[in-house]
C-alpha cells in the first residue's frame, strides 16, 4: 500500500526522520517497506501492511500513530471541529438501513463550489495512486487516505425522494457506475439506493446518477461500516475491486464513520466554501464496546523473557494510545477503538515487546518442566490393534459412515438412524456395522486382486428405543484365509492383547453370515463379537464370487482387557509331544462342543488344541461329519514319556466315545 511522506508529516509539528530512516524504524517493528520512490515534491513509501492491522494501518493516520510510538515524536490528530448552519439534516433526508451494515452515517453540505482541489491534495492523491477529479470527490478520497474509512458524496438534488436505503439488490436490478460501466446485480450484492433505483454499490463504487459535477450545489456525505464478507463476495461476483472494497473486506472499526464524515465536512467547508447542515443521520444500533484486558506484570515478563519495569510498560502502552490503569503490579488496559486486532492479554504482550524492541531482549533457554503426556489407553489400544492386524497381512480401509436403502435392507430397519437431510440417497442411513462397507470393498477389488485382506476400526450407529448409540467396532474380511485360519488369527490377536485365549460358541442366525460356519467370539466368558463365512445371499447381492471369511468385534469391550504391561512367561524348557484325533459327529454338532470336551479331559498337560481339518463326503456315514484335531502335550517340569502321553490321549478318546452319536476314528 502506498503512503505519502508529506501526508504522514502533516500529523506532526516537528520534522520526521528522512524517508529511509523512517522505513528502517518501521521495519524494526514488523512493517515491511518494499520500496521508497523519490518524487519531485514528495516521497512514496510502499508498505506491506499485515491483514491483521487493516483496521488502523490501512490509513496514514494509523501509520502516523505507529511512527509516534516508535520514534517518540508527538502525534497531532487532524481537526474535525465544524461550524454548522441552523437547518437540521433530519428535515431533509432519512436513512433506512436494512442489511449488512453495522453503522451508517450521513452529513449534508450546502452551497458548495465544485472546482479543482488545492495542489497539495492533488499531489498527495497522485502519490498514493488516486486520480484527482474535483475538490468534493478528492476530499472524500483524501479523508479515506487519512482515516482508512471510505466515503462517498452524492449530489443531493439528484436523490429521488427523501430517503436513502441500504439494502440488497433485487434480482437483475441494474446500475451504471462512475466509470460508466453497466452491471446487472444479483440479490447478494449490497447497494445504496434512493426511492427509485440504486445509486451506488455499497462499499465498492458509486453510481453515475447522483455524480458530483460542476453544477452540484448541495451534497450528502456518507460513511458506512459494511459487512466484510458481503463486500468481499460482492466484489468477487462483480469482478470489481477498489480502494474502498479493499478496506471493507479486511474489516474496520465502526467508530471511524463519524470521524471521517466530520473531517470531510470540515475540509469541504474550508476548500469548497460549503455550509455544513446541522446534525447528522447516524444509524448505530449496537455500539462497539470497549474491552478491558487485565494482566500481571510477572506474566508479561515471563512471556517476553525480559525484566521490564512497570513504568516502561505503561509508557509503551500509552504511546500506543491504550487506556491504562495500574494497581499492585496488575494492569487494566483498554485498546484504542481502531485496534480491531487486540482481544487477549497475549496481544498486549506482543505490542509491548514490539515497541520495546525484540532486538533488546536477550536470547535465553526457557526454563520449564517438560512433563510427559499421560498415555490415553483408548488410543494406545487402537494403535496396538491396527499395527497387529497390519502385521497379519491386512490393509486398513476407511469407509463412509453411511449406507443406502439396499444396505439398510440387510438389517432391522427399526434400529437404523436415518439422516434428516442426506447429501445423497447413498448416504441415507448411518451404518450399524462395518462389514457391509468392507464387503463392498471386496466386490470392487476382486476384479483386479485375488488375495484381499482388509480391516477397519470405526464407529457404528443404531437406535435402542428412542436413544441413539454410537459404538466402536473392529472388523475384517479375507478371501485368503478360511474359517479356521481366521479363528487362529483372532486367537493370536486376543492373546497378544489380553494374555487370554478366546472361546467360541454357536451363534444365532445372522443375515451377513453363513450359519454353517459361524461362531460367537467370547473373552472372559463375555460375548465380544462374531466370526464366520459370508452368506451366499450377501455375496449374491454384492456380486462377490470368492469365498469370504469375516469377523466383527466390539472394540470398546476389548479396551478394558488390554494389558499395556505384558507379563513375562518363561518359555518351557521341555519338549512337546503331538497327537492327532479324528472324531465323527452329527452334521448339526458345533465343533466347539468337541473342542471343549477335549480341553476339559486333557487337563494341565494339554497345552494347545487346534482344529486342522473338516470333512463331509463319501467315505463317512450320511448326516455325519469329521473333525480332525491336533493335540499338543507339554509339562513345565519334565519331559513327558510316550507312555504318559498315550495315557492322556486314551483318557480323551474314552470321554469322546461316551458321548452319544460321537465316534473316535482309529
For 603-644, write each residue's pLDDT tens digit: 888 988 888 888 888 888 888 888 899 999 999 889 999 999
pLDDT in tens, 283-308: 999 988 888 999 999 999 999 989 99
**Pairing label, strands 219-226, 395-396:** unpaired
In 3D, which of 425, 458, 438 has the Cα closest to residue 512?
Answer: 438
Q: 21-25, 552-556, 562-566 — which is least confidently predicted?
A: 562-566
Please give the grid coordinates belonging to residue 73: 515524536
Report d(CA 34, CA 360) in Å as an integer: 24
- Top-tier CATH class for 293-360: alpha beta
pLDDT (average), residues 360-389: 81
3-state secondary structure of 534: strand
**pLDDT classification of 142: cutoffs 50, 70, 90:** very high
The CATH number of the structural domain formed by 84-283 is 3.50.40.10
d(CA 197, CA 185): 12
| Mean pLDDT, residues 238-257 taken together | 95
Residue 407: pLDDT over 90: no
Q: How far apart are the two ends of the chain, measured CA to CA in Å?
A: 97
503-525: average pLDDT: 78
Q: Quick check: 561 pLDDT over 90?
A: no
| Residue 505 CB neighbour total at 10 angstroms | 14
Mean pLDDT of the chain: 91
| Nearest-angstrom CA–CA distance, 657 and 663 | 5
The share of the chain scoring above pLDDT 70, in percent, equals 98
- Indicate the CATH number for domain 577-665: 3.30.70.380
Q: What is the pLDDT of residue 389?
A: 93
* CATH class, 2-71 region: alpha beta
DSSP assignment of 228-262: HHHHHHHHHHHT---HHHHHHHH---TTHHHHHHH
SS3 annotation, 471-512:
EEEEEEEECCCCHHHHHHHHHHHHHHHHCCCCEEEECCCCCC
Average pLDDT over residues 209-233: 96
Rounded CA separation 640/185 (Å) = 94
Q: Locate all alpha helices (DSSP H) within 108-203, ordered by sequence.
A: 119-127, 135-147
Does 222 score more than 70 pLDDT?
A: yes
Grid-cell match 451504471, residue found: 176
Helices (H), 560-641: 591-602
Pairing state between β 182-185 and 173-176: antiparallel
β-pairing verdict for 503-506 and 606-615: unpaired
Fold match, 377-559 / 577-665: no
Backbone angles phi, psi at 52, to 5 degrees: -70, -20
The Cα-based distances of 513 to 399, 488, 489, 530 in angstroms read 21, 18, 18, 9
Rounded-to-integer distance, Cα 544 and Cα 539, Å: 5
Instruction: Give the model's pLDDT for residue 182.
Output: 96
Q: Could you tell me the residue ranges of all domains in the chain?
A: 2-71, 84-283, 293-360, 377-559, 577-665
Residue 447, pLDDT > 90, answer no
Per residue in 157-190, pLDDT (tens digit) is 999 999 999 999 998 899 999 999 999 999 999 9
Write down the architecture of domain 377-559 according to CATH.
2-Layer Sandwich (3.30)
Residues 199 and 209 sit within 8 Å (Cβ to Cβ): yes
The three-point CA angle 489-492-497 to 5° equals 125
553 contacts 541 by C-beta, under 8 angstroms:
no
Residue 566 has pLDDT above 70, yes or no: no
Say if residue 591's pLDDT is above 90. Answer: no
Amino acid at each position: 500500500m502506498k503512503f505519502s511522506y508529506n501526508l504522514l508529516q502533516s500529523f506532526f509539528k516537528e520534522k520526521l526522520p528522512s524517508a529511509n530512516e523512517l522505513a528502517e524504524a518501521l521495519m524494526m517493528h514488523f512493517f515491511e517497506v518494499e520500496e521508497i520512490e523519490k518524487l519531485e515534491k514528495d516521497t512514496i513509501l510502499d508498505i506491506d501492511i499485515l491483514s491483521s492491522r487493516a483496521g488502523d494501518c490501512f490509513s496514514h493516520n494509523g501509520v502516523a500513530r505507529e511512527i509516534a510510538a516508535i520514534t517518540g515524536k508527538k502525534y497531532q490528530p487532524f481537526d474535525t471541529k465544524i461550524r454548522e448552519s441552523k437547518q437540521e439534516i433530519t428535515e431533509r433526508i432519512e436513512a433506512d438501513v436494512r442489511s449488512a451494515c453495522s453503522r451508517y452515517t450521513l452529513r449534508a453540505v450546502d452551497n458548495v463550489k465544485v472546482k479543482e482541489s488545492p495542489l497539495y491534495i492533488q499531489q498527495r492523491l497522485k502519490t498514493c495512486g488516486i486520480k484527482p477529479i474535483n475538490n468534493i470527490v478528492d476530499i472524500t478520497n483524501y479523508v479515506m487516505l487519512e482515516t482508512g474509512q471510505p466515503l462517498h458524496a452524492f449530489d443531493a438534488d439528484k436523490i429521488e425522494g427523501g430517503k436513502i436505503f441500504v439494502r440488497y439488490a433485487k434480482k437483475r436490478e441494474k446500475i451504471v457506475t462512475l466509470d460508466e460501466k453497466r452491471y446487472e446485480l444479483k440479490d447478494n450484492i449490497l447497494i445504496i439506493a434512493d426511492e427509485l433505483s440504486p445509486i451506488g454499490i455499497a462499499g465498492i463504487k458509486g453510481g453515475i446518477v447522483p455524480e458530483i459535477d460542476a453544477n452540484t450545489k448541495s451534497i450528502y456525505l456518507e460513511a458506512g461500516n459494511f459487512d466484510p464478507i458481503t463486500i468481499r463476495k460482492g466484489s468477487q461476483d462483480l469482478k470489481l475491486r477498489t480502494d474502498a472494497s479493499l478496506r471493507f473486506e479486511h474489516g474496520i472499526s465502526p467508530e471511524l464513520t463519524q470521524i471521517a464524515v466530520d473531517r470531510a465536512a470540515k475540509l469541504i467547508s474550508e476548500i469548497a466554501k460549503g455550509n455544513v447542515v446541522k446534525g447528522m443521520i447516524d444509524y448505530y444500533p449496537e455500539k462497539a464496546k470497549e474491552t478491558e484486558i487485565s494482566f500481571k506484570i510477572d506474566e508479561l515478563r515471563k512471556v517476553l523473557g525480559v525484566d521490564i519495569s512497570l513504568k516502561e510498560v505503561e509508557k509503551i502502552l500509552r504511546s500506543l494510545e491504550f487506556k491504562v490503569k495500574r494497581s499492585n503490579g496488575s494492569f487494566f488496559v483498554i485498546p484504542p477503538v481502531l485496534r480491531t486486532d487486540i482481544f487477549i492479554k497475549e496481544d498486549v504482550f506482543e505490542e509491548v515487546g514490539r515497541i520495546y524492541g525484540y532486538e533488546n531482549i536477550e536470547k535465553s533457554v526457557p526454563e520449564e518442566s517438560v512433563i510427559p503426556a499421560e498415555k490415553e489407553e483408548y488410543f494406545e489400544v487402537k494403535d496396538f490393534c491396527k499395527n497387529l492386524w497390519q502385521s497379519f497381512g491386512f490393509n486398513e480401509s476407511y469407509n463412509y459412515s453411511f449406507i443406502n436403502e439396499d444396505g439398510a435392507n440387510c438389517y432391522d430397519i427399526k434400529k437404523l438412524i436415518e439422516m434428516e437431510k442426506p447429501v445423497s440417497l447413498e448416504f441415507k442411513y448411518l451404518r450399524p456395522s462395518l462389514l457391509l462397507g468392507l464387503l463392498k470393498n471386496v466386490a470392487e477389488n476382486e476384479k483386479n486382486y485375488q488375495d484381499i485382506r482388509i480391516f477397519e476400526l470405526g464407529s457404528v450407529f443404531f437406535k435402542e428405543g428412542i436413544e441413539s448409540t454410537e459404538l466402536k467396532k473392529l472388523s475384517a474380511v479375507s478371501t485368503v484365509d478360511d474359517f479356521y485360519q481366521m479363528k487362529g488369527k483372532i486367537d493370536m490377536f486376543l492373546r497378544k492383547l489380553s494374555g487370554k485365549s478366546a472361546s467360541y460358541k454357536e451363534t444365532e442366525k445372522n443375515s451377513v453370515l453363513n450359519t454353517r460356519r459361524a461362531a460367537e467370539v467370547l473373552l472372559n466368558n463375555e460375548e465380544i463379537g462374531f466370526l464366520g463365512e459370508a452368506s451366499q445371499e450377501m455375496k449374491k447381492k454384492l456380486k462377490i464370487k470368492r469365498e469370504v471369511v469375516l469377523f466383527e468385534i466390539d472394540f470398546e469391550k476389548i479396551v478394558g482387557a488390554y494389558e499395556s504391561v505384558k507379563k513375562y512367561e518363561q518359555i518351557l524348557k521341555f519338549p512337546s509331544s503331538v497327537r492327532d484325533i479324528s472324531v465323527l459327529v452329527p452334521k448339526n454338532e458345533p465343533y466347539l462342543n468337541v473342542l471343549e470336551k477335549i480341553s476339559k479331559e486333557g487337563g494341565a498337560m494339554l497345552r494347545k488344541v487346534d482344529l486342522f481339518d473338516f470333512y463331509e463326503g463319501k467315505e463317512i456315514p450320511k448326516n455325519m461329519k469329521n473333525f480332525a484335531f491336533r493335540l499338543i502335550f507339554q509339562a513345565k517340569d519334565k519331559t513327558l514319556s510316550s507312555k504318559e502321553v498315550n495315557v492322556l490321549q486314551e483318557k480323551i478318546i474314552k470321554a469322546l466315545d461316551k458321548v452319544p452319536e460321537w465316534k473316535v476314528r482309529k
